[in-house]
Amino acid sequence: MKFFVHIEKAGGTSLHHCLLNSFSDYTILPPVRRGYGKRYEIDDFKKIERFVGKATFYGGHQVSSIPNLSDFGDNHQYITFIRNPVERCLSHINWLMHTRNDYTIDELLKGDRLDNIMCFRISGKKSFVDTKEHILNRQYFVGIMERFDESIFLLSHWLGVNNMHYKKANVLRKEQKQLKTEDLTEQQIQRLKEKNEEDIKLYKFVLDNLYPMVKSKLLFDKQKFETWKMENQAFKGVGRWLVLKNKLRGKIIKKIIS
């Protein structure tokens, strides 16, 4: 089975659509439990298989690589995308302030919910050391949002799929007010760095070590990549009916699990 661990504000919606277009049974699992850190467990996947039908590829915010999935075999593959932690956290704050008008940046910086989210989503722990070990002990592809095109190109080879393409999705419109790092005080920037200390270590490890290693193993071909980019520019996006079909499937799953 394959799983996409969707980290907030790291290109996940664009990747959802890309996977929907490339895998006929790709299923976006909706959040089914309230509370930070809640995840789909092994019994949930058994219910989905029983009442909705078995799929080989799942993705979502509450999908993780933590549950014991031995009942479904041992050869699981995991995918996630990460992003510059300070930029990712600020984008997350912008999204929260846009969707929930009662928040301010200082209020969001006080709590611990936004602390080291990338590590936490991947390993269930807000620790770089634990997360690094978690990744290295599994078949795990970690893409980089700042290198999104290249990451999608590499991912298609890692998955053994031809012609994976995407179109940007879930991007805040330009007219929507967004805080940028230059809008913040030195204290706020320092607080962002403190809240993402472990994620910063993870990002550096992936950028400097893991990603180049995977790129080398997959025999990255720059000429083929440039050809792929031209093809991707012509991609019009995933079919609307695929998105609607998956949303309906998600509603059924939510009713079964909740």
pLDDT digit string, tens, across residues 79-89: 999 999 999 99
Residue 70 pLDDT grade (very low, low, confident, very high; cuts 50, 70, 90): low
Interval 120-130 mean pLDDT: 95
- The answer to whether residue 174 scores a pLDDT higher than 60 is no
Q: Which of 256, 247, 257, 241 is nearest to 27 (CA)?
A: 247
* Mean of per-residue pLDDT scores for the chain: 90
- The answer to whether residue 110 scores a pLDDT higher than 90 is no
Residue 147 pLDDT grade (very low, low, confident, very high; cuts 50, 70, 90): very high
Q: Which fold has domain 2-257?
A: Rossmann fold (3.40.50)
Q: Angle, nearest 10°, between helix axes 186-195 and 85-99?
A: 110
- The answer to whether residue 106 scores a pLDDT higher than 80 is yes
Q: Which of 189, 182, 211 is nearest to 82 (CA)?
A: 211
pTM of the shown model: 0.92
Residue 40: φ, ψ to 5°: -70, 135
- The answer to whether residue 7 scores a pLDDT higher than 70 is yes
CA 144 to chain centroid, in Å, comes to 10
Which of 42-56, 77-91, 166-180 has the weakest average pLDDT?
166-180
Domain assignments of the chain as residue spans, ordered by start: 2-257
64 close to 166: Cβ distance less than 8 angstroms: no
pLDDT tens digits along 216-226: 999 999 999 99
Q: Determine the pLDDT at residue 105.
A: 87
- The answer to whether residue 232 scores a pLDDT higher than 90 is yes
118 close to 203: Cβ distance less than 8 angstroms: yes
- Based on C-alpha coordinates, what's the Rg of the chain? 18
- The answer to whether residue 101 scores a pLDDT higher than 80 is no
